[in-house]
A and B are shown apart, each in its own frame.
Chain A
């Protein structure tokens, strides 16, 4: 190695350094010249083979070159860093992103799941019952004998003399109580059918959720507390509810639960038909005749039951104006939830 050769090496190296435009190329350069097996290392290794009088000057030159190159590499590295950050972004951010869109669960499914969660947390189990039912489960066991005027309220689709499409999920109360002895706490969501002409607020098929709790000393106060808690959890902590006496053949005392109309704060408006309140639940203490029908002793056990219309609740919560949207399944509707 002569000084001239070292000089040539230096020129080559610097030229090459100037060409190193990316961090990868720079690293390649560093390894080539400054690495463990790099050019300068080889020169240093070869020093002992030089003539004694040449060793020191060459060694010194080599060292100088090494430092020069090391500093140059650092500077170049910094330059590249800066350049990268300062460079205008090559990506056009105004282009839309590309994703595989996920589908939507039907809003009624979402509501049913959310209501289910609330009651699961209170200790209820979720059960289901058949849509095709018999008169016994839909009426007689629920204290609605044949020829009872209440049958008008629960008008029903019949298949034949024996079978019908259930008009309420209360049928599941009977099935559960026939299957197991108290204590019991269940909720049962499902489809029900009524021969109502279809309009903005009625459909011949809709969904209900039924609840039943039977134990030693179940009270009306517990019914109130449970439903008030449900309303606050589902509609919001500020929700106001009221319990109003009503009549169902299968509960006594019976009640309807109203929500204060959020639109008018209870003053009365079109949404609540000027009443100031919106009815959302029917409930009551299980009628002793129902217990007798399933051979549970009403003197030893008491219980409460409640039922709610899912479509109605969904319409109130989301401000949906027409029940038919749920079953037309327009994507512009489904994608809103």
Chain B
């Protein structure tokens, strides 16, 4: 809110420079976000927190300044009307009737009638002050209501009395089907959750939010009904949300206004109407509802204040600080009974008083100490499982960066068009209030986000892109939406390119290799890659991954329908399965003391025979001396018969208990060759 310094000075003595005052206000909880100078005028832009709606006015801030700087407050006295004095309405004029149908929605309503109103421009001093405070001058009647709003924080409304049917104001809930054209020219459909000001026929204004166009004060208005009321914060808020309208009035009502202040503001406005609009009050103000809100006392112990702040404070100091903000304080030994002033609606309990004491003292004066934290280790059972998962994820990150992958973080929200390939629409979690359709659902897979990241980098001519992400995916399940952690990988471009060797492109085996390296790194002995259909992967490279028989994820090449001009390989793994299968502690295996014997084997097998068949057959012999069979070469070409492919393996033989002999190894090699010839029609080379 904007506060012109010259206006503030009307209510409080200010000796400090504007900069110094701004600093004091900021350090007392009212952050001055801007200090503007317009000629000789200075305007503060202050951020007022939701709990201090009492400061959303010149007088409100003046009170705070007085408390903070120990300055003199100069509050004007506006004659309060005395409803006991009955003044007859002039002959022939029906007195105003005010009925509050919804007592919860409206705790107090004061309605007053003015005649002989001359609607015209406001006096310069008023227009100037409004302008400095950022409010446009409209006409003298409306300006008076805005002026008092800014001055006192009480929202007011002026109706053209002749546009209201019968001199009757009814405060009620709207009925389904009723409508109202608000002063901004938009028709509003109403419903029972909205509080309205109505006349005999229809709603005339959205209570506390905005007036109706039909009863708006215009240049031809001669009679005005002035409304000053206390509407319930929650009901105004709900009404505001329901019609999608907010205003300076609704803003203040939502944060709460003073039931007492309703009358003061009404009197102030009345006086201004008479002074500025030439008006005359007709009849007596109608004051319906609660006159004053009861405030209960708060009991606080001075030692509690010391304990909470960590600063020793005497009872006298505590009492003094509280009196500084206008509390009535009664002491009984260490106990203090506090009655907060009417405008301090934010003070409910000892904690609120403690905050006020601290901020008046200045947070700066509270020392800095560091506690020695002693928390028993068993305190949080879920944390223990979480620790293990976190450790594994941490190692996963290290392993992945070690393998040359860069970590990315992509948006968890996505658009329906791209995400349709990545999960059933039945399990999609959609947002009810998205900002745009581009980010209107929660991702069911990490792949679309990774794809975008890959595309972006390829567009910027990156030669090698290797990315990973650890993040959640979300799915709608029967009872509720569920989130699960996933690992995603994406690769595209050239294998690490350098000048000593040619630059082969990344292919599926780079991805497979990275995954195998990860699984091995975590001690997962058994894993399986198997073709399985997938809507977003290229046929022939749609792979299902299982860890020790448990489904763990997918990988493959991204299908052609996505806009990428070179192959992109992706994988997605369920982190929970990975964490579950990972072996936390390796079991040491003693080193073999006897030298191994290595033999090479070159075979040509038919094109349709999987490469793994050779190794399976060899291992299927069950000979414990065959320690490892490793593929080291693959070739096609002139030496290989048509319809065949060539593989070369190194077979490592060893025995933990003795040195093997060439003869026995030869025998096994013969067996292997015979087996391969017989079972795979392999041709040995």
B413 touching A302 by the CB < 8 A rule?
no
Chain A 125-154 interface mask (CB, 8 Å, partner B; 1/0): 111101110000000000000111110110
Chain A nearest CB from B511 CB (Å) reads 14
Chain B 453-471 interface mask (CB, 8 Å, partner A; 1/0): 1001100101001111001
Q: Given A179-B380, A245-B359, is A204 in contact with B439 using a C-beta cutoff of 8 Å?
A: yes
User: When chains A and B are docked, how far (Å) is the Cα of A150 from the Cα of B49?
Assistant: 9
User: When chains A and B are docked, how far (Å) is the Cα of A243 from the Cα of B29?
Assistant: 10
**A100 on the B face (CB < 8 A):** yes
Q: Given A100-B496, A159-B432, A302-B308, is A288 in contact with B366 using a C-beta cutoff of 8 Å?
A: no
Q: Which of A12-20, A57-65, A66-74, A104-112 contacts B (4 or more CB under 8 A)?
A: A104-112
B363 touching A334 by the CB < 8 A rule?
no
**A55 on the B face (CB < 8 A):** no
Chain A nearest CB from B435 CB (Å) reads 5
B370 touching A226 by the CB < 8 A rule?
yes
Give every chain A residue within 8 A of B620 (Cβ-Cβ).
none
Q: Given A159-B429, A246-B29, A331-B406, is A130 in contact with B483 using a C-beta cutoff of 8 Å?
A: yes
User: When chains A and B are docked, how far (Å) is the Cα of A260 from the Cα of B383?
Assistant: 36
**B525 on the A face (CB < 8 A):** no
Chain A nearest CB from B115 CB (Å) reads 38
B367 touching A127 by the CB < 8 A rule?
no
Give every chain A residue within 8 A of B407 (Cβ-Cβ).
103-106, 109, 334
User: When chains A and B are docked, how far (Å) is the Cα of A101 from the Cα of B403?
Assistant: 8
Give every chain B residue within 8 A of A335 (Cβ-Cβ).
406
Chain B 29-66 interface mask (CB, 8 Å, partner A; 1/0): 10101100000000000000111100000000000000
User: When chains A and B are docked, how far (Å) is the Cα of A20 from the Cα of B462?
Assistant: 53
Chain B nearest CB from A254 CB (Å) reads 7
B351 touching A221 by the CB < 8 A rule?
no
A205 touching B411 by the CB < 8 A rule?
yes
Residue ID in chain A nearest B433 by CB atoms: A158
A246 touching B382 by the CB < 8 A rule?
no
Q: Which residue in A228, A244, A330 is a CB contact (below 8 Å) of B31? A: A244
Chain A nearest CB from B209 CB (Å) reads 14
User: When chains A and B are docked, how far (Å) is the Cα of A218 from the Cα of B496?
Assistant: 55
B363 touching A163 by the CB < 8 A rule?
no
Chain A nearest CB from B346 CB (Å) reads 9
User: When chains A and B are docked, how far (Å) is the Cα of A287 from the Cα of B387?
Assistant: 29
Q: Given A132-B483, A285-B351, A327-B409, is A149 in contact with B255 using a C-beta cutoff of 8 Å?
A: yes
Q: Given A244-B29, A288-B351, is A127 in contact with B402 using a C-beta cutoff of 8 Å?
A: no
Chain A nearest CB from B24 CB (Å) reads 12
Q: Given A125-B375, A224-B368, A302-B308, is A334 in contact with B386 using a C-beta cutoff of 8 Å?
A: no
B29 touching A147 by the CB < 8 A rule?
no
**A236 on the B face (CB < 8 A):** no
Give every chain B residue within 8 A of A205 (Cβ-Cβ).
411-413
Q: Which residue in A128, A191, A220, A228 is a CB contact (below 8 Å) of B358? A: A220
**B622 on the A face (CB < 8 A):** no
User: When chains A and B are docked, how far (Å) is the Cα of A180 from the Cα of B199?
Assistant: 57
Q: Given A147-B237, A247-B50, A332-B460, is A122 in contact with B404 using a C-beta cutoff of 8 Å?
A: no
Give every chain B residue within 8 A of A5 (Cβ-Cβ).
none
Chain B interface mostly = mixed
B467 touching A329 by the CB < 8 A rule?
yes
**B94 on the A face (CB < 8 A):** no
Chain A interface bracket (under 10, 10 to 19, 20 to 34, 35 or more): 35 or more
A245 touching B355 by the CB < 8 A rule?
yes
A247 touching B373 by the CB < 8 A rule?
no
User: When chains A and B are docked, how far (Å) is the Cα of A322 from the Cα of B587?
Assistant: 48
User: When chains A and B are docked, how far (Å) is the Cα of A260 from the Cα of B474?
Assistant: 40
Chain B 344-381 interface mask (CB, 8 Å, partner A; 1/0): 00000101101100110001101111111111100111
B49 touching A247 by the CB < 8 A rule?
yes
Q: Given A131-B472, A147-B234, A287-B351, is A225 in contact with B308 using a C-beta cutoff of 8 Å?
A: no
User: When chains A and B are docked, how far (Å) is the Cα of A173 from the Cα of B355?
Assistant: 21
**A215 on the B face (CB < 8 A):** yes
Tell which of B26, B369, B373, B401 has the most Cβ of chain A within 10 Å. B373
Q: Given A224-B366, A244-B31, A326-B409, is A103 in contact with B50 using a C-beta cutoff of 8 Å?
A: no
User: When chains A and B are docked, how far (Å) is the Cα of A215 from the Cα of B371?
Assistant: 10
A252 touching B351 by the CB < 8 A rule?
yes
The A-contacting residues of B in range 383-398, CB under 8 angstroms, are: 383, 386-387, 390, 397
Q: Given A215-B371, A221-B309, is A245 in contact with B406 using a C-beta cutoff of 8 Å?
A: no
A-B contact pairs, 30 of them (CB 8 A): A98-B500, A108-B409, A127-B382, A127-B386, A131-B412, A147-B238, A149-B237, A157-B434, A158-B433, A176-B380, A181-B379, A183-B374, A183-B379, A185-B373, A204-B439, A222-B369, A224-B367, A228-B368, A242-B27, A244-B31, A252-B352, A252-B354, A253-B355, A274-B34, A285-B308, A328-B456, A329-B456, A331-B462, A332-B460, A334-B408
Q: A103-B404, A157-B431, A204-B439 known; 12 other A-B pairs, CB under 8 Å? A: A101-B404, A128-B386, A186-B380, A186-B383, A224-B363, A224-B369, A225-B368, A225-B370, A244-B31, A253-B355, A255-B363, A334-B408
Closest 7 CB pairs of A and B: A221-B310, A219-B310, A123-B373, A245-B29, A247-B49, A253-B355, A147-B234
